[in-house]
Amino acid sequence: MAELILNHLAKDFGTGRAAVTDFSLKVRHGGFLALLGPSGCGKTTVLRMIAGFEAPTNGSIHLGERLLADASRSLPPERRNMAMVFQSYALWPHMSVADNVGYPLKVRGISGEAYKQKVREALATVRLANHAERRPADLSGGQRQRVALARCLVSSPDVVLLDEPLANLDHHLKQEMEETFREFHQRSGATMIYVTHDQSEAMALATDVAVMSEGRLLQAALPAEIYARPEGRVVGGLIGRGAILSLPSPVGDIRLLDWCALEPLLSHEVGDRPKVDVLLRQEDVLITGEGIAARVESILYEGERYAVKLLLGDGQVLRAFSRERLDVGESVRVMARAAWRL
């Protein structure tokens, strides 16, 4: 069972700023890693280096003991035993579903009953066994995406790479395909690396999340860990919903703050201390009859609740949820169950 190891990986296209800088990460065998970050942060470049479409400027890529690439040499994509799913599905329109799925086997010279059996198994895994003879044009967007997944699975790859595969789908279809990806991962047992700028996708799908910004890896952790304990302002702003406040530093080296520790910081009841960034998640902020004063700046109905933007006395913004509709300009009092010092 081989780990995928990225060791001080770098890529410079000669534009004056490196696309990827000093990127080191171990992807455990059978894991589902989400590479998360804003557009232009370098995540697709990392994926293309893993696939073999780009050679690293520095650093190395290993699959177990096998060197895939470094600054002096790079195995071509066809020798890496990896499969890639693109946004566009990249299906042959003139081929049937079965022929699209079986194409990687034909390239490898596999034919006869072994070919048919592998195609049947791959289609069954993505619940498209009854669509084998159809053409891609006869399928929905979600079904075409499943054909692309089956084509990955048929060649038994060591690693499956997915480059924002849900970006072109509507909200309902995205949810359906997220379930398909989870099932695919469980059934195939393949190591999967999934590039996305959507943090909700990353948290819903991945066993591990790696957050990138400006070509660098900022934090890699389990989804629950990275949500509860983000490192730094960029990660805190990308993961989840909430507000990052500049507050006086709490006493001691504590990171998780309860209301007793937080209230004097918000109320400015402490002395002249250096400021630190503190993350308050929207779901932890409570609009009650006690706490500190705030004013309703805006309110947005989300169906089951209202999302409220609050203005504190010092001009900083706080966000909360409310079951009841509030009026813009209304004065309220708020408290927080917990906060995290970044």
Tens place of pLDDT for every residue, the chain, 342 residues?
689 999 999 999 988 889 999 999 999 999 999 999 998 999 999 999 999 999 999 999 999 999 999 999 999 998 898 988 877 778 889 999 999 999 989 888 899 999 999 999 888 888 889 999 999 999 988 888 889 888 888 888 889 999 888 776 777 777 777 887 888 788 778 899 999 998 988 998 899 999 999 999 999 999 999 999 999 999 998 888 899 999 988 877 789 999 999 999 988 776 678 889 999 999 999 998 889 999 999 999 998 899 999 999 999 999 999 999 999 999 999 999 999 999
Cβ-proximal residues to 89 (8 Å cutoff; 6+ apart), any chain: 136, 144, 145, 147, 148
pLDDT in tens, 49-72: 999 999 999 999 999 999 999 999
Return the percentage of the chain with pLDDT > 70, whole number: 98
Q: Say what the pTM is.
A: 0.85
DSSP 74: B
**Tokens read off for 278:** 């503190």
Strand ranges of the sheet holding 208-213, from the earlier edge strand across to the other edge:
82-85, 159-163, 191-196, 32-36, 208-213, 216-221
> In which residue are the tokens 């001080």 written?
8
Helix axes 112-125, 141-154, angle to 10 degrees: 140
CA distances from 155 to 23, 118, 149, 318 (A): 29, 8, 11, 50
Give just the sign of the alpha carbon dihedral 125, 126, 130, 134: negative
All domains in the chain, ordered by first residue? 4-229 (3.40.50.300), 241-341 (2.40.50.140)
Cβ-proximal residues to 154 (8 Å cutoff; 6+ apart), any chain: 101, 102, 104, 105, 118, 119, 121, 122
